[in-house]
Chain A
Amino acid sequence: MIFPWNKKKQSANVAKDRLRIAIMTDKKDEDFPFLADLKKDIIAVVKNYTEVRDIDIKKESDGEFEALSIDVHLG
């Protein structure tokens, strides 16, 4: 059972675990520093043919393969 008064005393440990994960995730994002530029380029190309509202680029991985999934929202 998690009582708030038990939890309070260990919050430094909670902080440490959360930080480790957050910083690891931040670092992964930094591995793809070109994402913002890529998004801009794709928008420019698609705009030659049709209106674009926004573009979503997500990194996906199943542990073995990594992929970029690109969603183009038409305007």
Chain B
Amino acid sequence: MGMIIAIISGKGGVGKTTATANIGLGIALNNRRCVVVDFDIGQRNLDMTLGLENRVVYDMIQVMDEEASLRQALIKSKISDNLYFLAASQTRDKTALDSLKIKQLIEDLSSEFEYILLDAPAGIESGYEHTIEFADTAIVVVNPEVSSIRDSDRAIGVLDSKSQKVKDGFDVDKYLIINRIVPEMVESGEMLSSDDILEILSIKLLGKVAEDKGVIDASNQGVPIILNPKSMAGAAYRRIADRLCGDNVPIEEPKVQKRGLVGRLKGMFS
């Protein structure tokens, strides 16, 4: 049985899809079979982040409606034989989702893969509820910013009341990724620190990812940043994936980058 992990946030645009792509690839690079599923029905994004948008023929709604087989719809990553991707439907909307069919799909995936990552849509409406319904673990992505943190708390509230595992009397495991940390601002007291955020949300920390221009560059090219271990964000995602694979890697605090003379002069005037 695979581990079913929903990547959630409440607020949109905080880095769920980026996290799903990178963590999925990181797990695959650890030689574990992993599938990433885009649950953002109507707003397919994960395909582009993974550079697989040209390979999509069938989507998950077609699989659930038995218009295509799972085998036909699963797309193998160009980078790792261990990573597969299942696309969201671009033409349907979230009302196309149905609990029984989702359950069946997830059961089928979990008999073939060790890790099943579900990229949730923004918000806490039905599309989100369906994403978390059969998850046994959730990765909560937040930015160090008030609205993201508040919304994530509400998303966690829904998770803790509506997921099947909770209804069966168990806890859903929850892990936090703090994304887009600007260490300079944390240092000067202008941005919430990781400790502040953990105190407010009180869930386990999985990783800290710095604000990194390389993330956009990577998404431009459809090559997840985890493949660039020299980048701050790439290295952070690598450690997160290793942690999920059971390695006991310590969590690193993003550090203030030392700048050259020109950078420091620029900093004086900004």
Contact B189 A11, beta carbon cutoff 8 Å = yes
Give every chain A residue within 8 A of B32 (Cβ-Cβ): none
Which of B153, B157, B190, B200 sits near A11, CB closer than 8 Å? Answer: B190
Total interface residues in chain A, CB < 8 Å: 16
Give every chain B residue within 8 A of A26 (Cβ-Cβ): 150, 153-154, 157
The smallest C-beta distance from B248 to any residue of chain A, in angstroms, reads 30
Contact B146 A19, beta carbon cutoff 8 Å = yes
CB closest chain-B residue, reference A27: B157
Which of A12, A20, A22, A23 sits near B189, CB closer than 8 Å? Answer: A12
Compute how far the CA of A27 lies from the CA of B161 in the bound complex, rounded to whole angstroms: 13
Which of B150, B188, B193 sits near A9, CB closer than 8 Å? Answer: B188
The smallest C-beta distance from A63 to any residue of chain B, in angstroms, reads 25
Which of B145, B153, B188, B190 sits near A23, CB closer than 8 Å? Answer: B153
Give every chain B residue within 8 A of A9 (Cβ-Cβ): 188-190
Chain A CB within 8 A of B191 CB: yes
The smallest C-beta distance from A23 to any residue of chain B, in angstroms, reads 5
Contact A16 B157, beta carbon cutoff 8 Å = no
Compute how far the CA of A16 lies from the CA of B194 in the bound complex, rounded to whole angstroms: 11
**Main secondary structure on B side of the interface with A:** helix
Query: B138-175: contact bitstring with A at CB < 8 Å (1 yes, 0 no)?
Result: 00000001100110011001000000000000000000
Chain A CB within 8 A of B186 CB: yes
Task: Please report which residues of chain B, range 181-226, place their CB below 8 angstroms from some CB of chain A when the two chains form the complex.
Answer: 186, 188-193, 196, 199-200
Contact B150 A12, beta carbon cutoff 8 Å = no
Contact B200 A16, beta carbon cutoff 8 Å = yes
Give every chain B residue within 8 A of A18 (Cβ-Cβ): 146
The smallest C-beta distance from B185 to any residue of chain A, in angstroms, reads 8
Given A10-B189, A18-B146, A26-B154, output 11 extra A-B contacts at Cβ < 8 Å.
A8-B190, A11-B190, A12-B190, A12-B193, A16-B200, A19-B149, A20-B200, A23-B153, A23-B200, A26-B153, A30-B157
